[in-house]
Structure 1
Amino acid sequence: MQKVGRSMTEPLGEVQLNRSKMDIGQAFINFQLWLETFFLKKGYILLFIGFLLGRALILAKLTPFTLPFFAAVYLLRKDRAPLALVGLTAGAATLSVQNAASAFSISFLFLFVFRISKKWLSNEMKALPFYVFAILLVGKIAEGFILTNTVTLYNGMMAGVEASLGFILTMIFLQGLPLLSINKRRQSLKTEEIVCLIIILASVMTGTIGWTIYDLSIEHIMSRYLVLLFAFVAGATVGSTVGVVTGLIFSLANISSFFHMSLLAFAGLLGGLLKEGRKLGVSLGLLIATLLMGMYGEGNGNLMITLYETGAAIFIFLVTPISLTSKLAKHIPGTPEYAAEQQHYMRKMRDVTAQRVSQFSNVFQALSKSFSNYDATSSRDDDEDREIDYFLSNVTEKTCQTCFKKEHCWARNFNTTYDYMKDIMTEIDSSDGIVSPKLSREWEKHCTRSKKVTETIQQELTYLKANQKLKKQVHESRRLVADQLLGVSEVMGDFAKEIQRERENHHKQEEQILEALQEFGVEIEQVDIYSLEQGNVDIDMAIPYCNGHGECEKLIAPMLSDILGETILVGKEECAAYSTGFCHVTFRSAKAYAVETSVAHAAKDGGFISGDSHSTIELGSGKYAIAISDGMGNGERAHIESQETLELLQKILQSGIEERVAIKSVNSILSLRTTDEIFSTLDLAMIDLQNAEVKFLKIGSTPSFVKRGSKVMKIQASNLPMGIIQEFDVDVVSEQLKAGDLLIMMSDGVFEGPKHVENFDLWMKRKITELKTSDPQEVADLIMEEVIRSRSGRIEDDMTVVVSKVTHNTPKWSSIPMQNMRKKAN
């Protein structure tokens, strides 16, 4: 029972402990939010900063911070300007009543002059530093005259120095004060903004000169804390910069602080270098710098006091919440927090873009569905019955309305009359306007105006056929538009998925590959991995100038092949133009198969312009397209037609639209753009380079042949040429190719070219079988030569032969084994 009791009380204690932790955490968050609201949103931080700047001195005499700060606050946050003025006056009062009166008077003079001349200013931001310069110069000279009743050269020079400092400080405050606002800043801090922020913080800290706690100087503690904070957040570069700038500001304020500039700069550098040790490493850097500079730099100083001040700064730094350093690091380029923030922002933008593309995809899909379902609202039988009713209504309106037997035919014998007229319409439609004698005699007995009714039916039937043809064309066009919209919707949907597929971080794999190649003795400058997916590897590298020795193809690609466990080839290479530059190379996965294509072509009668056009298109999806188009007729017009057909097809295929929809789209464009009877054929073969499967899409084209050893296979499909009708079904013939196969495609000028040949198929198969070579160019030339010889050397039509050979994609260089590095990057 005791054990049970203990087991029951232990979870209760854990729950209470977790609740206590949650309450403490929530209380800390609430306190942090209260501080942000009180100091930043309500602007009381300006009161605090103004108090310190009001008592800050330069060269132990000048107070150039007062007016620049008030002017910047007045321009940027006019509603909080009274708080800043109160803080500045109170701070100046801690020095002397004279300083307080001077600060208030100069600020009032600035308000008076600026408010009067404000209406003539086009850009207040640019004009403000000049106002501050003029007001400070006049005000300080006037102040010196009031106190001494004379204007000396020394007073004028000091007034000029203070006015110049005020001019510079005004620009610094204008750029730095927005950084202290409550706004959520997404953008990174520029170098100038970081320096301005440091100058503002250092200037504020000069207001603490003379403050001590147990003989420990407040300005020394806070300046070292500032260096620790920036060295921890941004590294050695920014840390040393903060040290130099802060030390310089303190040196100008108090010449005895000149020693601290070297201490702070060295501490920032050393702390940034030890950043990998987190807070303890940065603190150790400050401690070492304090010991070194304390022992050798300041002979008359108290080393123990300096160490105590360093210890106090380290203590404040160690208790600084990590949330504060993280927020600061998000805005400084080069930090991991900044990279994570940028990645989060880019991910958000990517998701928004993908969502918009997906919405457009849904819109196109809905439009496609709307076009597809437009004719599905009523059945075809109902449409036909309705058309017949309208047709007979038109006939009776022109014939039966004025007949004296209308009542007898349509009121008493409606079904009989309706059936007779329907039968007459059917026979006229099916028999080219001829009505059978039997039906004609029966109709004459039934109707007193039989001949007129028959003629009217024949006339109206002509209109009905034209109307039906027009409706059919509209229906086919609507269906074609639906297919095209659906194709665009699918492409946009796939694109949205690609956008949402986040690029993986491959930092570890990049380092491993870089290390492996460098250990092998290959010098690599940079490695960027975009994809390590099997069969879709994408790696970019920057290597030193290789002087054309082919290191990428001969060394790096074989080593990558062994590391990644698949064949890697050079996809793209940009060599450096000079010896000190870098070559940029892209490595990609090798396809399982390669296609070598050769062409032989000739124009009619040996002319220069052929009506045939051919194209090879390597698509990004791992497919290889071969196309031949034959324009109707010969000459330039046919050439333009066939060339435009292939260009349209290439652009649509490269957009990612499926082959059937692409061909239908091209056909629609060709059939709708002109009324001329200009048509073109299309012979398209799509080869998948991963499995060697080929799809043939033949539109009015001649058969193709596949030669595998001594066997020849014929590939044929029946479709009308493109541009004749707006809608047709594309027949797709699939075939599995093997390494060593020859794919032979030709235009009708070659296939139907042989003279005195009855069966072109058998003749072409026999000629292909008799070929003793497997070289694509030789095969194309031999077939062309055989056809021309059969015509006694005459070329009576445009002729094109395209021969493609499928082979295994074997790299020139075998893999180079990497000891203990294989599959490291997986």
Structure 2
Amino acid sequence: MQRPQISAYKRRYIEDVSKGINIDNTLVFLCLLGFLLGRAVIIDNLGPFGIAYFIYMCKHKKYKIPVFFSIATGIILSHEGSYALKYIITLVAVYLISSTISNMAKEEEGIIKVAFIGFFISAFIGMGISFIRGIYIYDILVSLFEGTSVFVLIYIYSFGIPLILKRSMRRTISNEEIIALSIIIGLSITGVSNISLFEISLKNVLSLLLIIIISYKGGGALGASAGITIGLITTMNTAASPIYIGIYGFSGLLGGLFNKISKYMSVIGFIMGWSIIIIYTRGSEELILSIREVGISSLTFLLIPEEKLKYLERFTKGILGSEESALNYMERVKEILHSRLKDIQQAYFEIGTTFEKVREKDKILDQRDIASVVDMINCDVCSKCGMKRSCWGLKFNHTYSLFVRILNILEEEGKIDENLVPKDFERYCINPSDVIKSANHYFDLFMLDYKWNKKLSETRKLVSNQIKSISNSIGNVANELNEEIDFDLDMENNIIIELDKENIKVDKISFLRREGENFEINIEKNACYGGSLCEEQLIPTVSRAVGKRLTSYKLGCRSISDKCSIRLVNSQEYMARTHVSSLSKDGNIVSGDNYTYMEIWDGKYMIALSDGMGKGEKACEESSLTIEILEKMMESKINEEISIDTINNMLMLKSSDEIFSTVDLSIVDLKDGAIESVKMGACPSFIKRGKGGVEVISSSSLPVGIISEIKIDRDKRRIKEGDFIIMVSDGIIDAGKDKHLGENWLYTVIEKIDKTSPSEMSKVILDEALKLVDGNAQDDMTVMVTKIWKN
């Protein structure tokens, strides 16, 4: 019996269904979207939104059939008879050529071709229905308008729908995609139509909820844009459309303005905006009727967990998210730099460890060296001796053991003569003096090699320590780079506004928040040549904008040519001022004492004094090198232990001569009044309390540059307003030696001084030291006095 033929249409339908439909969240959402777009109607029963949606979805075979039925259901439930028939016929026509549309969509610029197909199908079927019902020019124009709408909507869907399908994989959203998504959501809300419960419109609740979410996550500008767009789409077929466009837009604007404070303030701002415009345009009665919808949407928004809003944030930052994208880019760069620096740190550490592992000789002659020396003595002396056959041929072991005993004596005594030679060797060997001479010669060579080996080993250790210090420094930089650093864009805008009010023009400004309450403000502007603008206007204005008292980092702004850059930080509790009085030995121009004082970082103030051993240019070179390295490393936020260790290694490696210098370092934390002192072979320093009393800070450590393993002595104390920190070189301390006063004379002088100026105090101490040496300085003399007072 012949089997019945199946039409091509039925065969294609069966094939599509036989592939199976996997129900997942995406399918449910797309079907719901299709149902709402099928229901969406604007002026005069026009509803091309579902048709355009299905035409685009034809390229996705997995979702084509479910979306077809969901759109058809929406059309049947929302349109009147003839209009529903027109759209159902259009849907079926599109389905019949869906395979062609799917293949065409895969081509380059294929979406434009698909859009043209949508235009022709929609326009011709619309005009066909018009011919059947009786043609009017108006109906033809409406059909052309509907076809044009389908063309535009297909193009819009091509940006929005892929975002929905790949939402879990997307991290960045373009402007076109966010606009398309907003239009799609607005149209779908329109499809809710007049569904209401207890006179509460579901469409209005969803519209308001969407605007609140966008304004909270996108800010005022995006909130206003979303309000206007959603208001236009959802109220297009009502006479009050212009009024509600304004209400939605203004509400979104106020909701976004308060988004930086909290969710609750954003909701309050939205309700305020809604109430103001409603009362102004519609009256208080309308406000009472609509406040329920606003309340429900606001409460729903507050119940949404913050992690869900974080997910939605990606869909609201598409237009105005360029600043955040820049910050995310900086975060990625920071992570890469941190990782690379950590790799470099590990590499340097392993190199330093490798240097340490190089084997060092612990004896002048080891077993292999002894064999070599015996062989060389044999070649020089025994090879020419007539008894060689008897000694080295017949009695090899006995002869070898005698030579080893001689070399052992050599290693113990450093030199051997006939008095130290074993008696049995003298009786056994016929040329003992030649053997002794040769043994001494080769031992001296091995001794020289051993000394150089020790020197090389010490140098390797120094290099190893230096490489490890570099590794630690890189690690510190990496850790600092990994700290939480946020750019506060809102605060930058506030500062710019305040500066503009005072007519202060700046080129660049950045507000960086660090961990805790620390922050810094960097400003670049044209130089004012004198610094008066910064001190008198800029700093007070920025302080007013920030709401905290600020001070300039270091000693004011740094001017380079015609540009000026200034860094402002939170004002410290204390301020420091240093004065130095010095005198070179025998009136020389060059002094072996070098010093520095400067604000380094995070509100810390450094005072350092170095005394090079010796006098004149050599001593000056030593202390100058110490201070220069210390300045650079401390300014680069490298901690003092690594800095001093680096200085020690540099001095030891600099030359074969003994080069060393003292280091007296004090770091004052101007934020909390803590002082930390580090001394390496330096003289005692003193703290003269503002309320009376003198404290001594002393150390027993060696200067840097003497030994490779250094021990750093630390001393931590607190300082208060009116205290003086006094640091001196050994030329001041030793001034009392000839008078048998020791160091106590300086303690007594400091205790009796009643000066309140650091310059006057330093001059008094120097004058008193000169009196003790009858005006003839026996060594370089330097006095550093730093006064602390509250800011």
TM-score by length of 1: 0.59
Q: Residue 460 of structure 1: CA displacement? A: 3.2
* 1:514 corresponding residue in structure 2: none
* 2:88 corresponding residue in structure 1: 100
Q: Are residues 1:388 and 2:380 paired?
A: no
**In the alignment, which of 453, 460, 469 is matched to residue 435 of structure 2?**
453
Q: Residue 203 of structure 1: CA displacement? A: 0.8
Matches within 5 A, 1:401-480: 403-404=388-389, 405-406=391-392, 411-412=397-398, 416-427=402-413, 429=414, 434-440=415-421, 442=423, 443-480=425-462
SS in 2 for 1:729: coil
Q: Are residues 1:684 and 2:664 paired?
A: yes
Residues 777-826 of structure 1, C-alpha deviation per residue, up to 9 Å, x if partnerless? Answer: 4576789999999999999x9x976532244x3326xxxxxxxxxxxxxx
Q: 1:628, 1:747 within 8 Å by CA — same for their partners in 2?
A: no
- Counterpart CA distance in 2 for 1:762 and 1:409 is 74
**In the alignment, which of 737, 740, 743 is matched to residue 726 of structure 2?**
743
Change in 2 beyond 3 A, CA 1:625/1:770: closer
Q: Are residues 1:668 and 2:649 paired?
A: yes
Q: Which runs of 5+ in 2 are unaligned?
A: 1-21, 317-323, 487-510, 523-532, 558-565
SS in 1 for 2:607: strand
* 2:527 corresponding residue in structure 1: none
Q: Match for 2:666: what amino acid?
A: M
Residues 245-292 of structure 1, C-alpha deviation per residue, up to 9 Å, x if partnerless? Answer: 33421343x356748836973996799699859999999999999999
Q: Residue 735 of structure 1: CA displacement? A: 10
Change in 2 beyond 3 A, CA 1:281/1:800: closer
SS in 2 for 1:331: helix
* 1:47 corresponding residue in structure 2: 31
- Counterpart CA distance in 1 for 2:727 and 2:266 is 69
Q: Match for 2:40: what amino acid?
A: A
Matches within 5 A, 1:247-396: 247-252=231-236, 254-255=237-238, 258=241, 261=244, 265=248, 276=264, 322-323=303-304, 327-328=308-309, 331-332=312-313, 367=350, 374=357, 384=362, 387-396=365-374
Q: Residue 146 of structure 1: CA displacement? A: 6.1
Q: Residue 423 of structure 1: CA displacement? A: 0.8
Q: Residue 229 of structure 1: CA displacement? A: 5.7
**658-667 or 109-118: bigger deviation:** 109-118
Change in 2 beyond 3 A, CA 1:541/1:616: closer
Q: 1:51, 1:88 within 8 Å by CA — same for their partners in 2?
A: yes
* 1:521 corresponding residue in structure 2: none
* 2:579 corresponding residue in structure 1: 597
Q: Match for 1:422: what amino acid?
A: N
Q: 1:632, 1:679 within 8 Å by CA — same for their partners in 2?
A: no
Residues 452-471 of structure 1, C-alpha deviation per residue, up to 9 Å, x if partnerless? Answer: 43344334334433443344
Q: 1:361, 1:490 within 8 Å by CA — same for their partners in 2?
A: no
Change in 2 beyond 3 A, CA 1:759/1:313: closer
* 1:524 corresponding residue in structure 2: none
* 2:785 corresponding residue in structure 1: 805
Q: Residue 439 of structure 1: CA displacement? A: 1.8
- Counterpart CA distance in 2 for 1:287 and 1:781 is 74
Q: 1:53, 1:204 within 8 Å by CA — same for their partners in 2?
A: yes
- Counterpart CA distance in 2 for 1:718 and 1:297 is 87
- Counterpart CA distance in 2 for 1:712 and 1:321 is 61
Q: Match for 2:248: what amino acid?
A: A
Q: 1:56, 1:65 within 8 Å by CA — same for their partners in 2?
A: yes
- Counterpart CA distance in 2 for 1:441 and 1:277 is 102
* 1:513 corresponding residue in structure 2: none
* 1:398 corresponding residue in structure 2: 376
- Counterpart CA distance in 2 for 1:289 and 1:787 is 83
Matches within 5 A, 1:77-156: 79-80=62-63, 83-84=66-67, 87-88=70-71, 91=74, 95-103=83-91, 105=93, 112=100, 115=103, 121=108, 128=111, 130-131=112-113, 134-139=116-121
Q: Which runs of 5+ in 1 are unaligned?
A: 1-36, 336-340, 505-526, 561-567, 576-582, 813-826
Q: Residue 596 of structure 1: CA displacement? A: 1.8
**In the alignment, which of 602, 610, 616 is matched to residue 597 of structure 2?**
616
Q: Match for 2:678: what amino acid?
A: K
- Counterpart CA distance in 2 for 1:164 and 1:643 is 82
SS in 1 for 2:631: helix
* Identity in percent: 17
SS in 1 for 2:366: helix
- Counterpart CA distance in 2 for 1:585 and 1:718 is 38
**648-657 or 766-775: bigger deviation:** 766-775
SS in 1 for 2:708: coil
Q: Match for 1:393: what amino acid?
A: A
Q: Match for 2:84: what amino acid?
A: S
SS in 2 for 1:96: helix
Q: Match for 1:469: what amino acid?
A: K
Change in 2 beyond 3 A, CA 1:89/1:386: farther
- Counterpart CA distance in 1 for 2:773 and 2:87 is 112
- Counterpart CA distance in 2 for 1:769 and 1:105 is 109
**385-394 or 109-118: bigger deviation:** 109-118
- Counterpart CA distance in 2 for 1:359 and 1:161 is 63
Change in 2 beyond 3 A, CA 1:441/1:484: closer
SS in 1 for 2:44: coil
> In the comparison of the two structures, how many residue pairs are matched?
678
SS in 2 for 1:421: helix
Q: 1:602, 1:610 within 8 Å by CA — same for their partners in 2?
A: yes
Q: Residue 424 of structure 1: CA displacement? A: 2.8
Q: Residue 330 of structure 1: CA displacement? A: 5.3
Q: Are residues 1:60 and 2:76 paired?
A: no
- Counterpart CA distance in 1 for 2:92 and 2:372 is 100
Q: Are residues 1:696 and 2:679 paired?
A: yes
